[in-house]
Amino acid sequence: MTTAATMTTERFVVFDCEGSSCVGVLSVAPPSATAASVGVVIVVGGPQYRVGSHRQFALLARALARAGVPTLRFDYRGIGDSEGDPRSFESIGSDLACAVDALCREASVERVVLWGLCDGASAAFMYAAVDARIAGIVAVNPWARSTQGEATTRLRHYYLRRLVSADFWRKLVTGRVDARQASGELGATVRNASARSTTSSSPFLDRMEEGWRRYRRPALLLLSGNDLTAREFEAWLAADVNRKRLADGPLTKVLPFAGADHTFSSRTWRDAVASATLEWIVGTCRRS
């Protein structure tokens, strides 16, 4: 489908992944546009499919295509319209490889940026180092969840804010907050935050860190200001000097979005993310 208003063409792309059919939508500029040098594969996060929360993935793909960046958003196996058994973000490496194959074949590009939200961003970090075609990663509020990390983040960015909130104390005094339940939840959080972990981190976090270290190519981190997932990712980075070096290094750009929530639910935030993504791709990944 092509319209004068959007000046993009969208069509379904169906590709095989280890015997299962995966369904995607490819957004491209009109045939008269200059041939693209790099494309984007959008990696969905959580139990989402290719449209995204608030239609974010669809709108992002169209915005990038209007600027001459062909973009494929797809359902990995077991999600949306794609075949296969359900799987977690930790086991979609083959799906990403096949999606990159499809984009390169259908849009005639040789270099690809992986754009991922939440655990889609984590999956991108785990995969990118093994594929020389990956020119960049846009990691949006990456998932860095661990029991201890979640508890520490909630204490710092949720419970402390509640304790200084006049509204919380009004609800407590008037009985609109169950004091026993609230104190029990707080106690459990404190215990989890204080517990000594028996391992250095969760297995997927080890894989994500190792993948990022081996990747050695540009990355853009987009972090929402009003999101515990983003705060937990920041805490995960700060807890290790080697991870902090990755984030502070010359190949990584960190861009905060003050006030934005996890899925950038307003049009202003979604447009800002699309603009930041495009600017970074043009300035970094289109360079020869």
Task: Kindly list the domain boundaries of the chain, sorted by start residue.
Answer: 9-145+211-285, 147-194
Tell me the pLDDT tens digit for each residue of 118-142.
999 999 999 999 999 999 999 999 9
pLDDT above 70 for 200 = no
pLDDT above 80 for 29 = yes
Q: Which fold has domain 9-145+211-285?
A: Rossmann fold (3.40.50)
Query: How far is residue 237's CA from residue 251's CA, in Å, rounded to a whole number?
Result: 16
Q: Determine phi and psi for 234, rounding to 5 degrees.
A: -60, -40
Give Cα 269 distance to the centre of its chain.
15
Give all strands (DSSP E) within the chain, no chain letters. 9-17, 20-28, 38-43, 71-74, 111-117, 134-140, 219-224, 252-257
pLDDT above 50 for 3 = no
- Residues with Cβ within 8 Å of 20's Cβ and at least 6 positions away in sequence, in order, are 77, 82, 83, 84
pLDDT of 207 reads 96
Specify the range with the lowest mean pLDDT, choosing from 30-39, 65-74, 120-129: 30-39
Specify the range with the lowest mean pLDDT, choosing from 57-61, 169-173, 218-222: 169-173
SS3 122: helix
Please identify which residue in the block is written with the tokens 């494309």.
39
The model carries a pTM of 0.81
pLDDT of 45 reads 83
Tell me the pLDDT tens digit for each residue of 217-255.
999 999 999 999 999 999 999 999 999 999 999 999 999
Percent of the chain with pLDDT over 90: 69
Position with higher pLDDT, 119 vs 177? 119
Name all contacts of 50-54 with Cβ < 8 Å and 24+ positions apart. Answer: 50/23, 50/24, 50/25, 50/74, 50/75, 50/80, 52/117, 52/263, 53/263, 53/265, 54/263, 54/264, 54/265, 54/270
pLDDT of 288 reads 43
> What residue type is 232 in one-letter code?
E
Kindly state the tokens that stand for 238: 């700060």
pLDDT of 48 reads 83
Position with higher pLDDT, 237 vs 171? 237
pLDDT above 70 for 161 = no
pLDDT of 274 reads 97
Query: How far is residue 181's CA from residue 165's CA, in Å, rounded to a whole number?
Result: 18
pLDDT of 275 reads 97
Mean pLDDT of 195-216: 79
Query: How far is residue 145's CA from residue 205's CA, in Å, rounded to a whole number?
Result: 8
pLDDT of 159 reads 47
pLDDT of 198 reads 38
Average pLDDT, the chain: 84
